[in-house]
Each structure stands twice: as structure tokens, then as C-alpha cells.
Amino acid sequence: MLTRQQAVANILADTKYCANDKGQAYAPTNIALAKYWGKRNEQLNLPVTSSLSISLDKYGTDTTICIADTAEDKIIFNNKPMDKNTQLSLRITNFLNLLRPKNTYFEVKTNSNVPIAAGLASSASGFAALTKAVDELFVWNLSELKLSQLARFGSGSAARSMWHGFVKWQAGKATDGSDCYAAPFEHIWPELRIGLCLLDTSTKTISSREAMRASVSSCPFYPAWPTVVEHALDNIERAIIDKDFWTLGAASEQNSLAMHAIMQATIPAVVYSLPETLACMQKIWQARAQGLAVFFTQDAGPNLKLIFQAKDTENVKKLFAQMKVVAPFASSEVIACSYE
């Protein structure tokens, strides 16, 4: 079986290592509407199913990388040196091990405005920005498609953070991962809004990587998951094309609930929700019963992301005063980079 190092070498096959002074890149975080939950190959980080997300425009990570004159990597996160023994620091170093020439160490300065590890996909934007920055540092000029394949080795969902707007990550079938990459789902929906309800931003107790592994190996319902996602993708893609908001919201919310049902039936159970999470859901269901078009999705953390349309912003804000509102298609850059 192909190792990670061999798979990365295949992606970098036509590149040479020259070096700029530095590489710098921004990547937005993304929220999956049809979720990725479970790997078909742990070593190559290949997902069981395809998934589809929306990028969060100005919520993301900005990273600068240069070659350091030290014998180890130096990572500065949000202006503070990062303790090299933390989980995140080890993940970054392991990822850089796949990309670095021998005896080369880096200074990485990374700034993120996404709360870390609270199910808000901070690692997605982090590894996507790092991959783009390394590409610029070494003047590889890789296509975004190949960059998405590389970013996947840092965090699966990072493959989708290579673009703004809607993005589909193809699971592919090839054992070497060559047909597994993300690409824009080229439709815009300027009225769409995502509300971030931050209920708890402390670090999660179990990483999505460990939790997925446990679900695949022990959840008796896991075999149903690929079909669930296939239907969700069909409905969500059609809803985006037709601008059918109720179908988009309903299919996204249902897919998220199905993923959490799988987590809860995992042995031992994986439960990311807090009492506040359920209270928030109740509020949303009540509002919807009264005609307000608002839905939610939840990832590997207790926070909810609300899905609604611009015209309902004030009414949704009345329910969730602290909510941060994101307009995913607001910046002209979004239009320019993905849809020209």
C-alpha cells in the first residue's frame, strides 16, 4: 500500500524546490452542508463519501512561512510562540515533514480569526493556508486541485478550504487517492447567510479524527452513512442550482443530525452537544414552525451554524443576539476567484 510520503511525492512529481524569501496565503474556513464522516484509507486520509461545503469568506487563516536557521520548526500562532508539544503543533510539524526538503526547518506565522477546535473547522483553513503558503515559498505553482490533495494530509476538510463559495470534495475511488480532490461547485447564492452561534469555544474532548475512526469501526449504523450522504448531496446540489432554500436547509440539517446520530451510536458514544446546543435546536424548530426559514448544521463540537437568507437576518438575530453573521458571497474576491 502507498505510504503518505509516496502519495505526496506523486503529487509533487513535476515540481522542483526553488525558494522565495517567503510564502504567504489566506484560506477561508468552511462549513460542510453534506458532511464528511469516516475515512476509507487512514494513511492517505481518503474519505468514505464525497462532501459539499460553503466557505466562510473572511473567517479563516492567514499564514506566512519562511525557511528558518534553526534545527526545528518555529510556529507562531496568533502572535504567540506555540508550545511544540501541543496536538496542533505536532500535527503541523508532521504535515510539514511531508513537504520539507531534508534538514530544512520553517518559521510559520499563522493568524486565525476562527475559534480553534470547537467544531468550527479551524484546521481546515489552517492547513489550506499553510499548503498554499508552502507552494508559494517553493515556487511549485501547483494547481488548486493538487493543492487540495496536499492539504487533505493535514486535515480532510482542508481540501475544501482551497476555494471560496460552494465546494465539493470528491471521494474518488482510486486506491492511490489520485481522483480524490475538491473543486468549486460553481453556483453563487448571494442571499445566503451563515450564522455562527458560539455556545462554547473550549477545545473539544475528542478529535474528529479519533471520533471518525471509532464510528467507522463500531457504529452499527455506519454502513447506512454513504447512502445518507449520497441523497443529501443530490438534494443539496439540486437546491443550490434551483435556489430552493427550504430544500437546502432541510437537507443540510438532516444530514448533520444523521451524522450526530451515528456519533451517538458509536461505542463508546461520541457526544459533542451540550444542553445549550439542544436548547438552541429547540428554538430553531419552534421558530421554523412559526414560518421563519432558519436551519442549523453542527460539526464536531457543540456550536451551531445557522443557515438562513439575508431577508430574515433581523428576525434570526432577535432569537440569537450573539450570533455572528457571515455573507459567504459578499466579497468581490469570491466572485473573481471562483466564478469568472
- In the complex, minimum distance from the CB of residue 58 to ligand PMV, in angstroms, rounded to a whole number: 19
Which position among 8, 11, 12, 32 is part of the footprint of ligand PMV (CB under 6 A)? 32
35 lies in the binding site for ligand PMV (CB under 6 A): yes
Which position among 150, 300, 306, 316 is part of the footprint of ligand PMV (CB under 6 A)? 300
Interactions with ligand PMV, residue window 145-184 (CB under 6 A)? 155-157
- In the complex, minimum distance from the CB of residue 33 to ligand PMV, in angstroms, rounded to a whole number: 9
- In the complex, minimum distance from the CB of residue 49 to ligand PMV, in angstroms, rounded to a whole number: 9
Q: Which stretch binds ligand PMV (CB under 6 A): 3-11, 30-38, 214-222, 232-240?
A: 30-38
- In the complex, minimum distance from the CB of residue 120 to ligand PMV, in angstroms, rounded to a whole number: 9
Cβ atoms of residues 258 and 265 within 8 Å = no
Residue 231 class from Cβ within 10 Å (0-12 exposed, 13-18 middle, 19+ buried)?
A: middle
- In the complex, minimum distance from the CB of residue 69 to ligand PMV, in angstroms, rounded to a whole number: 33
50 lies in the binding site for ligand PMV (CB under 6 A): no
Which position among 100, 209, 283, 317 is part of the footprint of ligand PMV (CB under 6 A)? 209
51 lies in the binding site for ligand PMV (CB under 6 A): yes
* Nearest in space to 254 (alpha carbons), one of 29, 30, 48, 35: 35
Residue among 126 and 249 whose Cβ is closer to ligand PMV: 126
SS3 (DSSP) at 58? strand
Number of residues lying near ligand PMV (CB under 6 A): 15
Residue among 209 and 317 whose Cβ is closer to ligand PMV: 209
Which position among 36, 95, 153, 189 is part of the footprint of ligand PMV (CB under 6 A)? 36
Interactions with ligand PMV, residue window 122-141 (CB under 6 A)? 123-124
Cβ atoms of residues 279 and 317 within 8 Å = no
Q: What cell numbers appear for 40 in the block?
A: 476509507
How far apart are the C-alpha atoms of 37 and 299, rounded to whole Å?
A: 10
Amino acid at 114: V
- Beta-strand ranges (E) seen in the chain are 23-34, 39-41, 46-47, 51-68, 74-77, 80-81, 105-112, 166-169, 182-184, 192-197, 295-298, 304-309, 324-326
Output the CA torsion sign for 26, 210, 276, 256.
positive
- 3-state SS of 1-16 is CCCHHHHHHHHCCCCC
How far apart are the C-alpha atoms of 148 and 227, rounded to whole Å?
A: 25
Which element (helix H / strand E) includes 337? Answer: helix 332-339
- In the complex, minimum distance from the CB of residue 317 to ligand PMV, in angstroms, rounded to a whole number: 25
Residue among 64 and 208 whose Cβ is closer to ligand PMV: 208
303 lies in the binding site for ligand PMV (CB under 6 A): no
57 lies in the binding site for ligand PMV (CB under 6 A): no
253 lies in the binding site for ligand PMV (CB under 6 A): no
* Nearest in space to 126 (alpha carbons), one of 112, 146, 108, 106: 112
213 lies in the binding site for ligand PMV (CB under 6 A): no
Cβ atoms of residues 230 and 46 within 8 Å = no
Q: Which stretch binds ligand PMV (CB under 6 A): 33-41, 196-204, 214-222, 243-251?
A: 33-41
- In the complex, minimum distance from the CB of residue 236 to ligand PMV, in angstroms, rounded to a whole number: 12
Residue among 37 and 77 whose Cβ is closer to ligand PMV: 37
* Nearest in space to 45 (alpha carbons), one of 147, 180, 225: 180
- Contacts with ligand PMV by CB under 6 A lie at 32, 35-37, 51, 121, 123-124, 155-157, 208-209, 299-300
